[in-house]
Structure formats: structure tokens, C-alpha cells
């Protein structure tokens, strides 16, 4: 249950996408974290924006780490 980093098609985003440049200096800005609803668009083979759930934040959100026993159950349920 960690944050997923996937490309999303979103025209009017409230923040610019963050692209890390290892050769760039320290003045690259900071990544923002945005909670959204997205749907898979099979004709574009990508995800598309549906709704913004929360305002963008600069601090990484906390996440729950699932035990291995639960991860196995989720895997079996989703793919079988």
C-alpha cells in the first residue's frame, strides 16, 4: 500500500511534473504528491485523470506496509 509512480494523462494539473536531473544543481524544485482517481485508457495504453481527491503536498505521505502473508493473498486474489 505504497504510493505508485505511474504516468497519468492530465491536462490542467495544479502542479508541474517533477523531473529529476542528476546533473542539475540543488535548485530543481521539489516533487509534489497528489492523490487522484484515474482510469486505465486501453486505446492510449495509459492512465487518465478523473478526479483530484486531496490538495497537492510537498511532504511524502505515510504509508502502511503490508505483511508478506497478506501480500500473497492479494496477489492470488487479483490474478487468479
Would you place residue 31 in the very low, low, confident or very high pLDDT band (cuts 50, 70, 90)? confident
CB 59 within 8 A of CB 31: no
**pLDDT (0 to 100) of residue 73:** 52
Q: How many CB atoms lie within 10 A of CB 37?
A: 9
Q: Would 1 be classed as within a structural domain?
A: no
Higher pLDDT pick, 52 / 5: 52
Q: Total structural domains in the chain?
A: 1
Q: Would 2 be classed as within a structural domain?
A: no
Q: Would 34 be classed as within a structural domain?
A: yes
Would you place residue 43 in the very low, low, confident or very high pLDDT band (cuts 50, 70, 90)? very high
Q: Which domain holds residue 27?
A: 8-79
User: Three-state SS for 69?
Assistant: helix
Amino acid at each position: 500500500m505504497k504510493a505508485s509512480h505511474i504516468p497519468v494523462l492530465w491536462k490542467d494539473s495544479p502542479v508541474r511534473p517533477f523531473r529529476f536531473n542528476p546533473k542539475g544543481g540543488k535548485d530543481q524544485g521539489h516533487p509534489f504528491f497528489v492523490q487522484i482517481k484515474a482510469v486505465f485508457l486501453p486505446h492510449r495504453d495509459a492512465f487518465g485523470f478523473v478526479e483530484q481527491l486531496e490538495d497537492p503536498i510537498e511532504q511524502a505521505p505515510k504509508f502502511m506496509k503490508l505483511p508478506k502473508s497478506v501480500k500473497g493473498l492479494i496477489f492470488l486474489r487479483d490474478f487468479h
